[in-house]
Amino acid sequence: MFSSQTRSDLIKRFQSESFDLLVIGGGITGAGIALDAASRGLKTALVEKHDFAFGTSSRSTKLIHGGLRYLKQLEFGLVREVGSERAVVHQLAPHLVLPEKMLLPLYEKRGFGSMLTSFGLKLYDWLAGVKPEDQRRMLTRKQTLKSEPLLQPSDIKGGAIYAEYRTDDARLTIEIIKTGFRNGSLPVNYCEVTDFIYEDQVVVGAKIRDVYNNKSFDIRAKAIVNAAGPWVDELREMDQSKKGKRLHLTKGVHIVLPREKLPVKQAIYFDVGDGRMIFAIPRDRITYVGTTDTNYNASKEQVYASKEDVDYLLDAVNKTFNGPTLTVNDIESSWAGLRPLIHEEGKSASELSRKDEIFESDSGLISIAGGKLTGYRKMAERVVDLVIDKYFQEAELKRCYTASIPLTNPGFSSYPEVEKFKQRFTPYLVHTYGSAAEQIVNKAQTKDLILAELDHCLDNEMVLSASDFFIRRTGSLFFNITRMTTGMESVLPVMKDRLGWDQTKMEEERQRLSDSIKLSRQFVG
Ligand SMILES: Cc1cc2nc3c(=O)[nH]c(=O)nc-3n(C[C@H](O)[C@H](O)[C@H](O)COP(=O)(O)OP(=O)(O)OC[C@H]3O[C@@H](n4cnc5c(N)ncnc54)[C@H](O)[C@@H]3O)c2cc1C
């Protein structure tokens, strides 16, 4: 069980025990660190101020990718690391990290030339150790247009197909959180670090506000890691250690179109003509398109797409694909996330490196920022190596072995096994819940499927609000908004019952869901 009851039990333990490591932030970075640390033998707690994956880790392009464009920036080390990690993460969660062939159209008057692309993709495959059968294939103009008939043909001179992986970022994060829990870490959502506790100017703990119950408590740990993504600098400020390098936040927006409005046959990575590239990714009944990359200085708690963002994306789609001109009215939903990048003087948003960096303060606070979803495991390994080196050199701890800890229980040994499982259960259930799809379907014999899913998430995924369920556990807000609007009426009363809410709380939750829907379709500014 990993439920609201588990949460209360863990909070009691937080107050009475002390820990080797406290991780701040339940995005993919913090989740990865907690799993790595606990599996090596460190007594680890993790606190997240909203829900797990509330921040950037539910608002990415949802690709486990090598980052082709980093080749252009000559970041070979980064491409090698994240490129090789793709296959590892696929192996750890083959139901959730799915192979996805990407089409790269080449144009006469813009973007890369054929020779350079051919060489670049070869290098990309080589750096990442891609299997021969998955390596890049160059296409003629005719083959490119056959591969994607929706492409506006006038300027196309050819193309390439190369291998990437697609995921659901929030689901990947929750699976890593749960795997961490199975391996001994204690992760809790809706608990915010409001201050640090010091002894002799060394950080030895944190003051926590349980946002759900409006209570406060202290937690003590030998080592403290700040993995708060876009909020990393706020915690460094709290620690009075924000010196030298600082974060540079950029916003990235995706729009969601019904599949019939943009019926691309496969994932496409296309040149926009202004030096940027964007993705169009089909997924079940929708196609999503993104991303933008603009400097951001407003609220980190509420990040939404502006009119300018969606106009930019719609313009790119309308120029690239045939068919009726798409407008704002065709957009079903959207999301916007913040990249927690490291500031580099004189560089534009798109030019900033995506590499992660670790900062150590005089008080002992360790902060990590930058990076990618794809590289979460290696980032975690580096941070935990540092923690062990600083505080636990004498302890008998294992070396990092997260490359062999499956992210489901029971896990799938291979992708063909997932494909076989999909013959028994719908792709949605298998890709969302993995092997737990079977229990959910069994439960659905006596209730609606959505309520069987809710039961599963309440019991096993620490769901505390209807938004946790509809946005981050099932992805309904992004991928099936109708399911959210119709499912809300049956879900809310069950949550009220199971979580002991009063009527006012249930109405607040209903309002919050309606606001999320409205804000995902209302583009201002
Ligand atoms: C538009 C966009 C597209 C992207 N696409 C991809 C992609 O396709 N593939 C890829 O590999 N990478 C991609 N990335 C990068 C990737 O999404 C991020 O690197 C990653 O999600 C960052 O995770 P994180 O855990 O560091 O931050 P977050 O996910 O933001 O997690 C930090 C968490 O810390 C919590 N927190 C903050 N303050 C406190 C506090 N005081 N107390 C407790 N908790 C706190 C926050 O609530 C938050 O949940 C993309 C990024 C963006 C913005």
Q: Residue 200 C-alpha to ligand 1 middle, in angstroms?
A: 32
123 vs 13 pLDDT, higher one: 13
Scan for tokens 């590289």, then name that residue. Answer: 375
Q: Based on the number of CB atoms within 10 Å of its own CB, is 152 exposed (0-12), middle (13-18) or buried (19 or more)?
A: middle
Does any ligand 1 atom lie closer than 6 A to the CB of residue 355?
A: no
Residue 163 binned pLDDT confidence (cut-offs 50, 70, 90): very high
Tell me the C-alpha to C-alpha distance, in Å, between residue 378 and each of 28, 44, 334, 385.
12, 18, 30, 10
User: Which residues are CB-neighbours of 324 under 8 A, at least 6 positions away?
Assistant: none
Q: Residue 25 C-alpha to ligand 1 middle, in angstroms?
A: 9
Tell me the C-alpha to C-alpha distance, in Å, between residue 157 and each of 68, 135, 280, 341, 374.
20, 21, 19, 35, 31
Residue nearest to atom 18 of ligand 1 (CA): 372
Does any ligand 1 atom lie closer than 6 A to the CB of residue 293?
A: no
**H/E stretch holding 267:** strand 267-271
Q: Which two tokens stand for residue 510?
A: 């209903």
Q: Residue 108 C-alpha to ligand 1 middle, in angstroms?
A: 37
Phi, psi values for residue 184, rounded to 5°? 110, -5
The pTM score is 0.97
The per-residue pLDDT for range 428-480, each reduced to its tens digit, is 999 999 999 999 999 999 999 999 999 999 999 999 999 999 999 999 999 99
The per-residue pLDDT for range 348-399, each reduced to its tens digit, is 777 777 788 999 999 999 999 988 999 999 999 999 999 999 999 999 999 9
The per-residue pLDDT for range 87-98, each reduced to its tens digit, is 999 999 999 999
**DSSP-derived 3-state class of residue 487:** helix
Does any ligand 1 atom lie closer than 6 A to the CB of residue 60?
A: yes
What angle in degrees, to the nearest 10, is found between the helix axes of 28-40 and 376-391? 50
Residue 142 binned pLDDT confidence (cut-offs 50, 70, 90): very high
Round to whole Å and give the CA distance between 256 and 273.
Answer: 22
Residue 81 binned pLDDT confidence (cut-offs 50, 70, 90): confident
Does any ligand 1 atom lie closer than 6 A to the CB of residue 63?
A: yes
> Given phi > 0 = left and psi -120 to 50 = alpha, else beta, which region is 25?
left
Pick the atom of ligand 1 nearest to 230's CA: 30
Give yes or no for a contact between 136 and 162, defined as CB atoms under 8 angstroms apart.
Answer: yes
Q: Residue 490 C-alpha to ligand 1 middle, in angstroms?
A: 31
Does any ligand 1 atom lie closer than 6 A to the CB of residue 373?
A: yes
Residue nearest to atom 9 of ligand 1 (CA): 63
Sign of the CA dihedral running 149, 151, 152, 158 = negative
Does any ligand 1 atom lie closer than 6 A to the CB of residue 349?
A: no
pLDDT at res. 53: 98
Pick the atom of ligand 1 nearest to 30's CA: 25
What angle in degrees, to the nearest 10, is found between the helix axes of 28-40 and 169-182? 20
Percent with pLDDT over 90 in the chain: 82
Residue nearest to atom 37 of ligand 1 (CA): 228
Alpha helices for 138-213 (secondary structure H) = 141-147, 169-182
Give yes or no for a contact between 45 and 38, defined as CB atoms under 8 angstroms apart.
Answer: no
> Given phi > 0 = left and psi -120 to 50 = alpha, else beta, which region is 62?
left
Give yes or no for a contact between 314 and 271, defined as CB atoms under 8 angstroms apart.
Answer: no
Triad 382, 175, 12: Cα angle to 5°: 85
Phi, psi values for residue 441, rounded to 5°? -65, -40
Does any ligand 1 atom lie closer than 6 A to the CB of residue 291?
A: yes
User: Which residues are CB-neighbours of 514 under 8 A, at least 6 positions away?
Assistant: none
